[in-house]
Each structure stands twice: as structure tokens, then as C-alpha cells.
């Protein structure tokens, strides 16, 4: 039998909900690894399909959908049910040996819960593997495995795991709760393969349709490194992608050249946890970008995540180097305006270092998106005020088309593979009857009050909050505690008392 007639070994599927700025990298590299190992594979993006088929307001609701807190699930299901039917039909027509669901974040669990029972019923012969950053609560996935809803779940890197799965070697590292190992040499990984995806639709559908940004930019994700050089207490990267490793500049540029030639990429979005983990690699990359732009007259820019560094390790000329190489947007991990809170986060950067970075990015003209976290368990009202102060003092740095702030509403602790998730008591964290965490300083009411307050501040200053949750979502969450929008205007002290009286009553 030639390969064309052979049965399909793997159908890789991108599960919703996730953005559609560009095709996701995770499934595309797993797909590439399966093909390189000689398996017959196809890939499809159910998430993009949902964007293409549904109106903007539904997509807007869906993209920020969080089934834990939203009361909108019935409304969403009306739009999802027909899609789920079609997706299951498509899988049954392809009839692969394995379906590989790529689970981008914890939010995708909702859709898994809906699709798996239908798929199992209609295609009992198809084996199901799940992998991706969303595989955090291994108890849940182990239970799904025991109920035979899935045959394999993968924690950690998927390139070697998928090959073991296709060999039916389910005792291999990273599969079904076996501890993952790490790929030491990132240069050995196959380059992402987007074959079969509707590449031309990304960045242009749904919410993006009306935005001129997307017409100008043809964005692709690239990964230059894995892991991180720091260990912030709220972050799962040190546990999920531990050990900082990076690819050679040659291998990265080979991928970028391919994206430019085959897909006319003009913006590279580095998905690494940080692009300035290795200063040597960053300098090499900047030189390679500058050369490519100059020698081949290519219009190419890039964006990525950045850790704040002091002037000694990152002098001012480095900011000029970033600009010259085509950096257009940097996501900067600031988290809090309070040095004390950042210390508790194990992120010991000073306010002076933050100000230095913001000043320099402004000087050279690179947009900054500041990553801010409201309501860390040790954050007092005075600490929170310092965060507001930092934003107000540096507002000019966040005023740009691609910049702004990304303010997260609730610090993820439950089920999180982070120091705070493993050791909540160390940070004074307790749980209430709704399984929401609280501490002496912070609870869901106080976090919500601070969050809405800081969103108001952004509006007043004309800054965009990139990670905007709808106000309704926050109000839905506090309504469980009998708290209305006007109650959130009460003082923190009063809200603390109301919260304590609620939990004491319930417990």
C-alpha cells in the first residue's frame, strides 16, 4: 500500500478557545514531529473554524470564556453544539488511528468535556491523545483515561511523546503521568509545519476583521528558547518547561526565512517566556534580523516577552540594537508597583530598573505592553496603590497602538504547577466553599474591586487593557457572594468583613 492510501495515523486538532492572530505553534510542531517519524498525519484547527462561522459578539464572548465563572454557557452552547456535531463528523470521516487534541489553556477543558462523550460514542475505534499547556490538572485527565474517554495525556513537550504514542508506547516519559523528560537540544526539533491549515484566514477573521493592524501584519509564532532563567512564585514555566535552553540562531533564522518565503510573514512573534534570557543569543538574533532586513530588503519586525534587567546587564545601546533589528513590541513582566510584593513573587527587580527599561523603550520607540497582576495574596491596599502610581507615572510608556497593559484579574493558584500552587500556605492562602482562594489581604471581592478600579484608571488615562475581561464576568463572580456592582464601591475594610461573614455563614 502506498502512503497515500494508507490509513491516517494522526489527526492533530487545535481545540478552542484561543486567539487567531496566527496558527498555534504547539500543534504544528507536534504534527511535524509525527510526519518526520514517518507517520501519515493531517491537521485541522477547530478554533479557527469557530471564528469563521460565528458572528463577532459570540466570538468575543467565547474568546474570554471561562466556564468556571461565566453564566453564559447556555448561550455559548447554542452556537457550539452545531460545530461540535460537524467536528465529530469530520473526525469520523477521516477515521484516524489517533486524534491529538491540542489543549492551549485550562479554558479548553470545557470543550473537551463536551466533545469527548460524543466522539467516543460515534467513533469508539479512534484513540484520543491530549497535550498542551492546558494539561495541568493531571488528576482530571487521569480520571478521563480511567473512564476510557482518552487513551493518553501528555504533560510537557510533545515532540517525542507523540512518536511514542503512535508506537503505542504509552509508558514513555511525559505520557499518562510518567514524569516528562526534556529535549536537551532544541536544534533537533522539527520546524513547525502548517500544511493543511487555512493560513490566509489567521489574523483576519472574527474580532480582527475590523482592525487595520491585521491587514498590515502577517504574524507567525516562533520559539527561540524554552524555560526561563527566573523562578517567579506564581509562574508554572519553571515547573512545566524547567531548564532554560535555546536554539541556535542559524536554526531560528532558517525557520524565519521559510516563513517569509512561503507565507510572506512580516512579523515574528517570539512565544518564548523571555527573549532576553541569553544576552548572547539575543545579540546574535538581532544581528541576523538586521542583516536580513538590510541585505535582502525584507520588511520584517518582531515582538516578544522580556524580563526587566538593570543598566549594568542591559546597557542603553542594547535598546538601540533591539530597535534596529525590527523589535516593535515588548511584553514586559512588571507585575506590581510594590517592591515588597515583587519580592514575595520571587521577582526581585527594583522600581528603578523598571523605570529604566520603560524609559529606554520609549526613547528608542518600541511599544511596551506591561504585564500587571492584581491581587497577589500578600498585596495590601497600600501595595495596590503603588501599582496605580507606577502606571500613572509611566503612562506615556503604555500609550501606543501596540502597547498598553495586560492586567490579570485573579492570580491562578488552584491546580497551578507553580510554587504558590504547590505551597499555598506559605503565602497565607486558604480556600472558601466556592473553591476560591483568599488570604488576609486579598479575596475575590477585593481583587474584583481593585481590578475594576484599575480598568477605570486605564480608561481615564486612555490606556488599553489587552487582557480585558468583560465587566459582567467580574460581576458574575462576586454575585455568588451576594455582592452587587455598587457594593464594590465600599471600602476594602467593609468588603473584607462582608466576605468573612459570607464564608463563615457558608462554612
Q: Which residues bind ligand B12 (CB under 6 A)?
A: 18-19, 21, 24-27, 29-30, 63, 100, 102, 104-107, 129-134, 136, 154, 157-159, 161-162, 221, 223, 235-237, 271, 273, 408, 467
Q: Which contiguous run of DSSP H or E holds residue 288? A: helix 279-296
Which of residues 224 and 232 has its CB atom nearest to ligand SF4 in the complex?
Answer: 232
**Strand pairing of 10-14 and 41-45?**
parallel
405 forms part of the interface with ligand SF4 (CB under 6 A): no
User: Angle 109-122/73-94 helices, nearest 10 degrees?
Assistant: 40
Which of residues 47 and 155 has its CB atom nearest to ligand SF4 in the complex?
Answer: 155
Which of residues 119 and 345 has its CB atom nearest to ligand SF4 in the complex?
Answer: 345
Answer left, alpha or beta for residue 297, where phi above 0 means left and psi between -120 and 50 means alpha: left
Report H helices in 64-211.
73-94, 109-122, 138-146, 159-166
Eight-class DSSP state of 156: S
Which of residues 208 and 226 has its CB atom nearest to ligand SF4 in the complex?
Answer: 226
21, 69, 232, 407: which one contacts ligand SF4 (CB under 6 A)?
232
235 forms part of the interface with ligand SF4 (CB under 6 A): yes
Rounded Cα gap, residues 57 and 206, in angstroms: 9
238 forms part of the interface with ligand SF4 (CB under 6 A): yes
18 forms part of the interface with ligand SF4 (CB under 6 A): no
Binder of residue 333, out of ligand B12, ligand SF4, none (CB less than 5 to 8 A by kind)? ligand SF4
Binder of residue 230, out of ligand B12, ligand SF4, none (CB less than 5 to 8 A by kind)? ligand SF4
42, 97, 231, 324: which one contacts ligand SF4 (CB under 6 A)?
231
Site for ligand SF4 in 304-323 (CB under 6 A): 307
Which of residues 164 and 357 has its CB atom nearest to ligand B12 in the complex?
Answer: 164
Binder of residue 111, out of ligand SF4, ligand B12, none (CB less than 5 to 8 A by kind)? none
Q: Is 374 exposed, middle or buried (0-12, 13-18, 19+ CB in 10 A)?
A: buried
**Strand pairing of 437-438 and 430-431?**
antiparallel
The residues pairing with 225 across neighbouring beta strands, listed in sequence order, are 246
Q: Which of 206, 273, 257 is nearest to 21 (CA)?
A: 206
Which of residues 63 and 88 has its CB atom nearest to ligand B12 in the complex?
Answer: 63
Smallest separation, CB 385 to ligand SF4 (Å)? 23
Contact between 50 and 83 under an 8 Å Cβ cutoff? The reply is yes
Binder of residue 345, out of ligand B12, ligand SF4, none (CB less than 5 to 8 A by kind)? none
How many C-beta atoms lie closer than 10 Å to residue 382's C-beta? 10
16, 26, 333, 370: which one contacts ligand SF4 (CB under 6 A)?
333
Q: Which stretch binds ligand SF4 (CB under 6 A): 174-182, 233-241, 288-296, 441-449?
A: 233-241
How many C-beta atoms lie closer than 10 Å to residue 421's C-beta? 21
237 forms part of the interface with ligand SF4 (CB under 6 A): yes
Which of residues 149 and 345 has its CB atom nearest to ligand SF4 in the complex?
Answer: 345
Which of residues 255 and 272 has its CB atom nearest to ligand SF4 in the complex?
Answer: 272
Which of residues 24 and 88 has its CB atom nearest to ligand B12 in the complex?
Answer: 24
Instruction: Give per-residue burial for 226-259: e unless 16+ CB within 10 Å, then b.
Output: bbbebebbbbbbbbbbeebbbbebebbbebbbeb
Contact between 452 and 393 under an 8 Å Cβ cutoff? The reply is no
Binder of residue 436, out of ligand SF4, ligand B12, none (CB less than 5 to 8 A by kind)? none
230, 247, 331, 473: which one contacts ligand SF4 (CB under 6 A)?
230
420 forms part of the interface with ligand SF4 (CB under 6 A): no
User: Angle 444-461/471-479 helices, nearest 10 degrees?
Assistant: 160
The residues pairing with 175 across neighbouring beta strands, listed in sequence order, are 154
Rounded Cα gap, residues 397 and 405, in angstroms: 10
- Residues of this chain that interact with ligand SF4 (CB under 6 A) are 228, 230-232, 235, 237-238, 273-274, 307, 333
Amino acid at each position: 500500500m502506498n502512503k497515500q492510501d494508507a490509513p491516517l495515523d494522526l489527526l492533530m486538532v487545535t481545540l478552542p478557545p484561543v486567539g487567531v492572530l496566527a496558527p498555534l505553534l504547539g500543534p504544528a510542531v507536534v504534527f511535524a514531529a509525527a510526519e518526520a517519524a514517518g507517520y501519515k498525519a493531517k491537521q485541522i484547527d477547530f478554533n479557527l473554524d469557530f471564528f469563521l462561522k460565528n458572528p463577532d459578539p459570540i466570538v468575543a464572548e467565547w474568546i474570554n470564556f471561562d466556564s468556571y465563572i461565566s453564566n453564559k454557557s447556555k448561550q455559548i452552547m447554542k452556537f457550539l453544539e452545531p460545530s461540535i456535531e460537524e467536528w465529530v463528523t469530520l473526525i469520523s470521516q477521516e477515521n484516524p488511528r489517533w486524534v491529538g487534541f491540542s489543549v492551549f489553556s485550562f479554558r479548553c477543558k470545557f470543550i473537551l468535556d463536551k466533545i469527548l462523550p460524543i466522539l467516543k460514542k460515534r467513533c469508539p475505534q479512534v484513540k484520543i491523545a491530549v497535550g498542551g499547556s492546558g494539561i495541568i490538572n493531571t488528576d482530571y485527565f487521569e480520571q478521563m483515561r480511567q473512564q476510557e474517554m482518552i487513551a493518553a495525556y501528555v504533560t510537557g513537550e510533545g515532540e517525542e511523546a507523540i512518536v511514542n504514542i503512535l508506537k503505542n508506547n504509552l509508558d514513555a516519559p511525559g505520557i499518562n503521568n510518567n514524569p516528562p523528560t526534556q529535549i536537551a537540544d532544541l536544534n533537533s526539533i522539527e520546524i513547525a509545519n502548517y500544511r493543511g491549515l487555512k493560513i490566509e484566514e489567521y489574523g483576519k477573521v472574527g474580532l480582527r476583521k475590523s482592525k487595520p493592524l491585521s491587514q498590515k501584519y502577517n504574524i507567525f509564532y516562533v520559539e527561540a528558547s524554552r524555560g526561563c532563567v527566573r523562578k517567579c512564585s506564581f509562574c508554572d514555566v519553571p515547573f512545566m518547561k524547567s531548564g532554560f535552553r535555546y536554539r541556535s540562531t542559524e536554526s531560528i533564522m532558517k525557520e524565519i526565512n521559510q516563513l517569509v518565503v512561503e507565507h510572506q510573514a512580516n512579523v515574528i512573534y517570539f512565544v518564548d517566556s523571555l527573549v532576553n534570557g541569553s544576552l548572547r543569543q539575543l545579540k546574535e538574533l538581532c544581528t541576523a534580523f538586521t542583516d536580513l532586513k538590510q541585505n535582502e530588503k525584507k520588511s520584517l519586525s518582531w515582538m516578544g516577552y522580556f524580563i526587566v534587567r538593570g543598566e549594568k546587564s542591559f546597557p542603553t545601546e542594547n535598546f538601540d540594537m533591539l530597535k534596529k533589528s525590527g523589535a516593535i513590541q515588548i511584553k514586559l513582566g512588571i507585575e506590581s508597583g510594590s517592591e515588597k510584593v515583587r519580592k514575595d513573587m520571587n521577582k526581585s527587580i527594583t522600581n528603578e530598573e523598571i523605570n529604566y527599561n520603560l524609559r529606554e523603550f520609549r526613547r528608542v520607540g518600541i511599544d511596551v505592553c506591561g504585564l500587571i497582576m492584581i491581587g497577589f495574596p500578600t498585596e495590601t491596599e497600600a501595595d495596590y496603590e503603588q501599582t496605580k502610581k507606577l502606571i500613572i507615572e509611566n503612562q506615556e510608556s503604555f500609550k501606543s497602538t501596540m502597547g498598553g497593559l495586560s492586567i490579570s484579574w485573579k492570580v491562578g493558584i488552584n491546580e497551578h504547577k507553580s510554587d504558590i500552587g504547590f505551597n499555598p500556605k506559605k503565602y497565607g492562602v486558604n480556600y472558601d466553599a466556592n473553591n476560591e482562594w483568599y488570604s488576609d489581604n486579598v479575596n475575590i471581592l477585593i481583587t474584583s474591586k481593585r481590578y475594576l478600579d484599575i480598568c477605570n484608571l486605564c480608561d481615564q488615562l486612555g490606556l488599553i487593557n489587552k487582557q480585558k475581561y468583560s465587566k459582567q464576568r467580574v460581576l458574575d463572580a462576586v454575585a455568588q457572594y451576594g455582592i452587587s456592582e455598587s457594593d464594590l464601591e465600599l471600602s476594602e475594610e467593609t468588603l473584607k468583613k462582608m466576605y468573612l461573614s459570607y464564608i463563615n455563614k457558608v462554612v
